[in-house]
Amino acid sequence: MTAEYKVNGAVAVITLNNPPVNGLGHATRSAIVEGMKKALSDNAVKAVVITGAGKAFSGGADIKEFNSPKASAEPSLHTVINVIETSSKPVVAAIHSVAMGGGLELALGCHYRVAAPGAQIALPEVKLGILPGAGGTQRLPRVVGLEMALNMIVSGTPVPSEKLAKTALFNQLAEGDLMEAAVAFANKVADVRPLPKVRDIKIDYPNYEGFLQFSRNTVKAMAGPFPAPLKCVEAVAAAVTMKFDDGIKFERDLFVELVQTTESKALRHAFFGERAATKVPDVPEDTPTRPIKSAAVIGAGTMGGGIAMNFANAGIPVTILEMKQEALDKGLATIRKNYENTMKKGKLTPEKFEQRVGLIKGTLSYEEIGQADIVIEAVFEDIGVKEQVFKKLDEVMKQGAILASNTSTLDVDKIASFTKRPQDVIGLHFFSPANVMKLLEIVRGAKTGKDVLATSLQLSKKIKKTGVVSGVCDGFIGNRMIEQYSRQAGFLLEEGCLPEQVDKAIEKFGFAMGPFRMGDLAGNDIGWYIRKRRYIEKPEVTYSKTADLLCEMGRFGQKTGAGWYDYKPGDRKPYPSQVVNDMIIKHSADLGIERRKISDQEIVERLVYALVNEGANILEEGIAMRASDIDMVYLTGYGFPLFRGGPMFYADTVGLQNVMMSIEKYAKGHQGVAWKPAQLLAKLAAEGKTFN
Contact residues toward ligand 3HC (CB under 6 A) are 20-21, 23, 56, 59-64, 77, 98, 100-102, 105, 124-125, 128, 132-134, 136, 272, 275
State the binding partner of 203 from ligand NAI, ligand 3HC, none, CB within 5 to 8 A by kind.
none
* Catalytic (active site) residue 147: no
Q: DSSP letter at 346?
A: T
Burial class (CB in 10 A: 0-12, 13-18, 19+), 376: buried
| Closest CB to ligand 3HC among residues 223, 654 | 223
| Closest CB to ligand 3HC among residues 18, 419 | 18
Residue among 129, 158, 135 at smallest CA distance from 57: 158
**Smallest separation (angstroms) from ligand 3HC to the CB of 276:** 7
Catalytic residue among 65, 74, 125, 620: 125
Give bridge partners of residue 92 from the DSSP assignment.
49, 112
Cα–Cα dist 356/337, whole Å? 12
Cα–Cα dist 557/344, whole Å? 28
Cα–Cα dist 642/634, whole Å? 9
| Cis peptide preceding 90, ω within 30 of 0 | no
Contacts of 521 (CB under 8 A, 6+ apart): 513, 557, 558
CB hemisphere CA count around 633 (13 angstroms):
30
Q: Are 643 and 263 in contact (CB under 8 A)?
A: yes
**Smallest separation (angstroms) from ligand 3HC to the CB of 255:** 7
**Smallest separation (angstroms) from ligand NAI to the CB of 330:** 8
Q: What angle do CA 539, 540, 541 make, to 5 degrees?
A: 90
CA 675 to chain centre: 30
Cα–Cα dist 118/98, whole Å? 9
**Smallest separation (angstroms) from ligand NAI to the CB of 335:** 12
State the binding partner of 23 from ligand NAI, ligand 3HC, none, CB within 5 to 8 A by kind.
ligand 3HC
Cα–Cα dist 485/480, whole Å? 9
Cα–Cα dist 345/348, whole Å? 8
Which residue type is seen at 480? R
Catalytic residue among 85, 105, 441, 602: 105
State the binding partner of 496 from ligand NAI, ligand 3HC, none, CB within 5 to 8 A by kind.
none
**Smallest separation (angstroms) from ligand NAI to the CB of 430:** 6
Q: What is residue 464's three-state secondary structure? A: coil
| Closest CB to ligand 3HC among residues 52, 515 | 52
Cα–Cα dist 120/162, whole Å? 9
**Smallest separation (angstroms) from ligand 3HC to the CB of 357:** 30
The C-alpha torsion from 684 through 686 and 688 to 691, rounded to 10°, is 10
State the binding partner of 577 from ligand 3HC, ligand NAI, none, CB within 5 to 8 A by kind.
none
Q: Which residue of the chain is nearest ligand 3HC when measured via CB?
A: 101
| Closest CB to ligand 3HC among residues 124, 557 | 124
| Closest CB to ligand NAI among residues 245, 329 | 329
* Catalytic (active site) residue 125: yes
State the binding partner of 51 from ligand NAI, ligand 3HC, none, CB within 5 to 8 A by kind.
none
Q: Which regions of 510-573 does DSSP assign to beta strands (E)? A: 565-566
State the binding partner of 381 from ligand 3HC, ligand NAI, none, CB within 5 to 8 A by kind.
ligand NAI
| Closest CB to ligand 3HC among residues 97, 407 | 97
Residue among 526, 487, 498, 292 at smallest CA distance from 408: 526
**Smallest separation (angstroms) from ligand 3HC to the CB of 134:** 4
**Smallest separation (angstroms) from ligand 3HC to the CB of 333:** 37
| Closest CB to ligand NAI among residues 238, 320 | 320
φ/ψ (deg, to 5) at 674: -70, -15
Residues near ligand NAI, by CB under 6 A: 298-304, 321-323, 327, 378-381, 385, 388-389, 406-408, 430-432
Contacts of 372 (CB under 8 A, 6+ apart): 294, 295, 296, 319, 397, 398, 401
> What pairing do the DSSP bridges indicate for beta strands 120-122 and 159-160?
antiparallel
| Closest CB to ligand NAI among residues 49, 378 | 378
Q: Which residue of the chain is nearest ligand NAI when measured via CB?
A: 301
State the binding partner of 301 from ligand NAI, ligand 3HC, none, CB within 5 to 8 A by kind.
ligand NAI
State the binding partner of 98 from ligand NAI, ligand 3HC, none, CB within 5 to 8 A by kind.
ligand 3HC
For the annotated catalytic residues, the residue numbers are 105, 125
